[in-house]
Structures are given as C-alpha cells and as structure tokens.
Amino acid sequence: MSTPSPSEVALIIPLYNEEAVLPHLVAEIEAFRSERNESIDIIFIDDGSTDLSARLVQSLTGDLKGYQMIRFSRNFGHQKAVSAGINLCKNKAAIILDADLQDPLDVAGRMIDKWKEGYDVVYGVRNKREDVSVIQRITAYWFYRLFRAVGEVDTPVDAGDFRLISRPVIEAFNELDEQQPYVRGLISWLGFRQIGIQYARPGRVAGQTKYPLKKRFRLALDGLTSFSSRPLRMAVNLGLLISAGSVLGLVWVVLTKYVLGTAITGWASLIFAAFFFGGLQLFFLGVVGMYVARVYDEVKGRPRYIISDVWDSGSIQVGSVLDESTAQEA
C-alpha cells in the first residue's frame, strides 16, 4: 500500500438533530486537523434533521476548507447515511464516526497510523463505555456475542461502526446493493486485512442519543437476518424435535391406555402445552416473516436514499435527486 499523501483521508459523519453538539464537534475536528500531517476532508450526511443542524454546519464551516454536507430528502436511517458517505467518498481512506464525539478523534489518528502500516480496515473496540445504562450495556454485550456465534461471517465483538476503511474496501463496499445495509457486518464480510484498536468510549458531549433501545433492537434484528440463516434452521430443527416428541407422547398415551389399563389425566397441563407450542409457532412464523420482509425490500428496487441538496465550499445545489448509483457518478 502506498504512503498516504495530503487530502487522502475523509471523516464520514452522519447527522440527525445534532445542533447541540456541532460547535464542539467542529472545534475538535479543527484541532485534530491541525495536529495531523495529513490533509483531512469532512463529509457530513444530514439524515433529514428537523432542527438547525444543516444551517449550523454551513455557518460553522463556511470559511473552512475541506467540508461537504449531503442532505437527505427525509430521515432514511443511520446505516443508510453511513452508506451514502462511503458511496460519495473520493479519498483513499475514510473514517466513520458519530457526531456526538463518543468516537474520539485521537483514536481516529491511531487508525490512520495503522492504515499507514498497511491495514485496510481498522476498527475501534470499546473496552469501556461511559454514560450508558445497565440495560444498554448488557444488551450490547450479549448481542455482539450472539451475532458472532450465529452469524455466518467473522465479526469483532464490541466494535460498532467507528472504523477506518481503505480505498479498496470503499470500492468493494460500493459494489454492494443491499436495501437494508448493516455496515459493520458488510465491512467484515468484505474481508481484507483488518485489525482492532481498543479504546474507552466517553459519554456524549451534548444533546441526547438518537439510538434508543427500540432502534438498537431493530438494528440487531437487521444484522442477524442479514448475515445468518441459523434462526430458520433452528426453527426447522426445533419443529422436528417437537414432532418427534409428540409422536413419542402419543405412543405413551396408547400404551398406558390399552396395555396398562390406566387413563392419563391433566387437561390443565395439556392446555398449557397447547398454548406454549402455539406461541412457539407464532414466534418462528415471525422469524420467517422477517426474512420474507427483507426479500420484499430488496425486490422493490427503490433507491436506498434520496439526496435533496449538496453543500460544498459555500455553494448549494438544490433539488438534485440522486440514488446511490447516481451519487457515485456525481
């Protein structure tokens, strides 16, 4: 891999109602840029913010170089915003990070150093998390380990989207066309030379999290259904096991009735069992439904996102409606 030259690194930062944290973020970015030898560009993706985030980006960075903002026509979701940033990135490497400064820029500098050593993917591994509830900490801990156990791709545990990806990874990612992208899983699936960097994740500098437990749960389901068919195989295996058990139970009922001459009592337990297995059937029917819904999303052929305007070096192009394939050509 060639040694990086100026203007080769971009920071990809999705935004959704982040006006409270933007002044802190821009100040941190400028301090980071002044410390590094590389010239670093910034790509903001405004994911349909309803506050003053877009105007604040323009006012804070209008006199600075290397800033670009992509505005979605509405809120399409964090993973699609990250995908848009990767699709539009022209640099030789990109670092994906959140706007809340929970992904420290000094760690981003360490990622660049590892990239210079020849790694194509450098991901952050959270060994400590501040300002996180006990429920969020527990659910995150078990999700990553469950995903690694049942997933069909080798993914690092305790690693989110905060990572550096090289140009070959960017180009390979842009060849993918999934309607519901699970970015961290897709990057792991792509392969290339990868390494992790451990860091302590601080709390938000300002504002509130845009990823409540409901969205985290949906992201987890997207990840599992994107990279594993084991839930379906589990449903088949459990169904076969229950069927075999019911046959054995029927044999036992016949033997006790006609051989031993005794009748089996316990209608309450029978009803309980009926409700239990009925609920189990509905659960696995829902699992199948999630996979069918993903197939339905894919076959509709809609663009992942729509870009309403692009801000770059003080000029605004209004009304440009692009999907990701058009955006890559822009």
Q: Closest Cα to residue 291, out of 216, 236, 214, 240?
A: 236
SS3 breakdown of the chain: % helix, strand, coil, rounded to 5? 50, 20, 35
Q: Are residues 216 and 307 in the same domain?
A: yes
Contact 12, 46 (CB under 8 A): no
Find the CATH number of the domain harbouring 42: 3.90.550.10
Q: Are 154 and 219 found together in one domain? A: yes
Q: Are 13 and 45 in contact (CB under 8 A)?
A: yes
> Could you count the other beta carbons within 10 Å of the beta carbon of residue 318?
9
Judge whether 91 lies within some domain: yes
Domain co-membership, 89 together with 218 = yes
- Do 89 and 174 belong to one domain? yes
Residue 253's pLDDT is 64
* Same domain? 18 vs 75: yes
Q: Are 310 and 71 in contact (CB under 8 A)?
A: yes
Element housing 58 (H / E) = helix 53-61
φ, ψ of residue 261 to 5 degrees: the values are 75, 25
> What is the C-alpha to C-alpha distance for residues 215 and 203, in angstroms, rounded to an integer?
19
Write out the residue range of the structural domain in which residue 292 sits: 230-300
Do both 163 and 40 map to the same domain?
Answer: yes
Q: What is the largest CA-CA distance in the chain?
A: 93
d(CA 147, CA 216): 14
Report the distance separating Cα 86 and Cα 306, nearest Å: 15
Q: Is residue 2 part of a domain?
A: no
Token pair 């309607």 is at which residue? 179
pLDDT of residue 6: 39
118 vs 166: CA distance, rounded Å: 9
Same domain, 164 and 313: yes
Domain contains 309: yes
Query: Residue 312 falls within a domain, yes or no?
Result: yes
Considering the domain architecture, whether residues 124 and 85 belong to the same structural domain is answered as yes
Residues of the chain with pLDDT under 70: 1-7, 129-153, 203-254, 256-280, 282-284, 286-287, 290, 293-294, 296-298, 301, 313-330
* Residue 64 placed within a domain: yes
pTM of the model as a whole: 0.67
The Cα 95–Cα 103 span in angstroms is 10
Q: 163-166 and 315-322 as β-strands: parallel, antiparallel, unpaired?
A: unpaired
DSSP label of 98: -
Under 8 Å between Cβ of 158 and 126: yes
Q: Tell me which residue of 231, 237, 163 sits closest to 196, measured CA to CA.
A: 163
What pLDDT is stored for residue 95 in this prediction?
A: 93
Contact by Cβ (8 Å): 218, 146: no
Q: CA quadruple 129, 134, 140, 141: dihedral positive or negative? A: positive
Q: Which 3 state secondary structure label does DSSP give 85?
A: helix
- Sole residue written with tokens 């980006």: 57
The answer as to whether 3 is a domain residue is: no
Residue at 4 is within a domain: no
Number of domains in the chain: 2
318 and 278 share one domain = no
For residue 103, give the nearest of 162, 166, 150, 171 by alpha carbon.
162
Please indicate, yes or no, whether residues 295 and 308 belong to a single structural domain of this protein: no
* Statement to judge: residues 290 and 204 lie in one domain: no
With residue 157 as reference, give the H or E element that holds it.
none
